[in-house]
A and B are shown apart, each in its own frame.
Chain A
């Protein structure tokens, strides 16, 4: 249907202007939510603020000693004014030593919150890890349960062993300090015996490594004097300056052009290989995932809907959402016809349905999809997906989907 036809079809009555169709909370509901939130939050905060927690309480065993991090049924909720946002709702996956795990998914599906949970940086007090565990194998061989780890102990891990490249560079750089001061501080904080001079050299070296044209100048700049791409590179340089064991890169290259992006990815890989570290790479760019990742985790509305090795996900995607993602990307072949796009939007995170979350957008939905949430179904040791179509070992015929539309 052409656009003009569409226009003609909309009658005034259909798009009645003055009426807001949003439903508003009543005062009573609002009060109830606030009360409940403060009760729950208090409980969690009390648990968190205990002093002198003995180390045994947060020591644990890895399921597989080859993993650096294991997320196990992680639930991270935000207790907001309008209700509980289940941002991460039962996420289970591993980050093996020396590997790159790519995380993809719709905007707002909980990718950043998952990584922030690992760093203990979820915005408190409304954001809380309510269930599940995150196990981390430290450089000294001990395994820690991050969800129970006290804050002061976490300080030693964060930044030094686990580094994070944040999604919004402007919010994570302090606007009143020069780039150099902020970079030096990171080095001085985490590297024992580092002198200010050594720190400065290290910072300049890192700036150079991330492809900044004039490190000396940028070293003396304030964050607002840099372009978006430069800020992002400064963040990366900062994160990598302490040779971390695990790098969490949250959309590290969105503001960069492909040549710089290639350079940054190369750098990440280098740093990783040098110390046999691991990378958790969050991005929207499937090309970057294909190139960098060993394993891929596809998230949708706070849950994992498919995971597997990069080949399994790219060559043999099972979940309709993953298939949709793969097809949305323009390429030379799709030239003149319209691009495929997954219609609709994610359901409201506050009132998740109890059936498959993708149901309202899925063009292959069957009866049972509207009744229960699908289990994770295992295809190979590494590959699994949560979709009713994949049950009973019945593999979905991916080709037939492609014919539609």
Chain B
């Protein structure tokens, strides 16, 4: 009854109003924010990705606080866990009968490091007696921070240069794209290795500062991809009719680039950024693994895996998986998580996406 009255009222109200909006009567819609969330959560993978990343972040940034509060130690606390380890040495010798005999010598020693998982040290301790779980947390802090900062810088540089190149075309495009070409045709890893090695060898740079240089290098190597994506998209979008429309209204080129064009490259940017995050973590790991990244007493996931370097002996690789497998798992989880989220976000932020 109330509805009918309302409708009747509306009709009378509208008689002098040319255009009346009938759509709005008893019409409920999903709020824009919720729509984004709905599109994001529609895909099971993006939910999984979200869980993974939330886990990794809590682990790296909240974990250390908890450890500190409950057990009261930090990253560089050395634990001497005494345990008795068997030491078996073998040797061959030739017996007087001409046969070869193997000689076993079994003795026992007291070791303090490389403790196996236990109630106090869930993942055990490493070769220096640091608690592995705690180190994983601090390592995560560094790895995640580096990758976020690098990606952020990369995207900004890439968007600005790619945007200018795509929009202005002609010599601007030529110039920027040739620079991009130069950077892109450098082989990434070798160059990074050389640069990192150079940095490490320069005495005047303190070891803690190396990480900043590394971030700068990673950014320098990475922005070209973003610039290419943005330029390509903009070249395509520039021909769209709404850009002609923007041209007719006479707004300034900067407005056109950064309000009309760049937002429309968002889907590609999000995907490339999330994939890039994973990539940077992997690069960082590689460098750390090769001893060129984060310097020793501080942990990074890559340097933790590096402990298992087979060139330094098979022992850790074979006998102490607790020292390197967790770091590997975390890297995989983070990289996968970011790319799942990237896919989800791309779909979620596309306002045209219905399903």
Residues of A near any B CB (own CB < 8 A): 1, 21-25, 27, 29-30, 81-83, 126, 341, 343-348, 350-351, 353, 355, 359-361, 365, 370-371
Contacts and interface: CB of A to CB of B under 8 A. Distances in A.
B34 A344 contact: no
A1 B16 CA distance: 9
A398 B31 CA distance: 44
Contacts of B14: 343-344, 360
Q: Which of B4, B11, B21, B34 has the most CB of A within 10 A?
A: B11
Given A82-B29, A348-B26, 11 more contacts: A25-B29, A81-B38, A343-B18, A344-B22, A345-B19, A345-B20, A346-B22, A347-B25, A360-B20, A360-B25, A371-B4
Contacts of A355: 4, 7
Nearest to B26: A351
B145 interface: no
B88 interface: no
Interface of B: 3-4, 7-8, 10-11, 14-31, 34, 38, 355
Contacts of A351: 25-27
Given A23-B29, A24-B29, A30-B30, A348 B22 contact: yes
B28 A25 contact: yes
Nearest to A123: B355
Contacts of B20: 343-345, 360
28 contacts: A1-B16, A21-B24, A22-B29, A25-B31, A29-B28, A30-B30, A30-B34, A30-B38, A81-B38, A82-B28, A126-B355, A343-B20, A345-B23, A348-B23, A348-B24, A348-B25, A350-B27, A351-B26, A351-B27, A353-B3, A355-B7, A359-B11, A360-B10, A360-B14, A360-B25, A361-B22, A370-B7, A371-B4
Nearest to A367: B8
A345 B28 contact: no
A360 to B, nearest CB: 5
A22 B4 contact: no
B117 to A, nearest CB: 43
A372 to B, nearest CB: 11
Nearest to A23: B28
A348 B22 CA distance: 7
Contacts, number: 83
Contacts of B8: 370
B353 to A, nearest CB: 12
Contacts of B10: 360
Contacts of B21: 344-345
A344 B21 CA distance: 6
A29 B30 CA distance: 10
Interface majority SS (helix, strand, loop, mixed), chain A:
loop
The 4 closest A-B pairs by CB, nearest first: A345-B22, A348-B27, A24-B31, A344-B20
A259 B248 CA distance: 32
A351 to B, nearest CB: 5
Contacts of A23: 27-29
B28 A360 contact: no
A25 B26 contact: no
Nearest to A361: B22
Contact of A360 (B17, B18, B22, B30): B22
Nearest to A371: B4
Contact of B7 (A1, A82, A83, A359): A359
Contacts of A81: 30, 38
A30 B39 CA distance: 13
A287 B8 CA distance: 35
B59 to A, nearest CB: 29
Contacts of B30: 24-25, 30, 81-82
A253 to B, nearest CB: 22
A157 B15 CA distance: 49
A29 B24 CA distance: 18
A360 B4 contact: no
A241 to B, nearest CB: 32
Nearest to A347: B22
A24 B34 contact: yes
A353 B7 contact: yes
A365 B8 CA distance: 10
Contacts of A371: 4
B171 to A, nearest CB: 29
A370 B4 contact: yes
Q: Which of B15, B16, B26, B28 has the most CB of A within 10 A?
A: B28
A355 B3 CA distance: 11
A22 to B, nearest CB: 6
Given A359-B7, A370-B8, A344 B19 contact: yes
Contacts of A341: 18
A125 B122 CA distance: 49
B1 to A, nearest CB: 10
A16 to B, nearest CB: 15
Contacts of A365: 11
A24 B30 CA distance: 5
A19 to B, nearest CB: 13
Nearest to B23: A348
A371 B18 CA distance: 25
A174 B353 CA distance: 20
B42 to A, nearest CB: 10
A347 B25 CA distance: 7
Contacts of A30: 30, 34, 38
Contacts of B355: 126
A83 B28 CA distance: 9
Contacts of B16: 1
A124 to B, nearest CB: 11
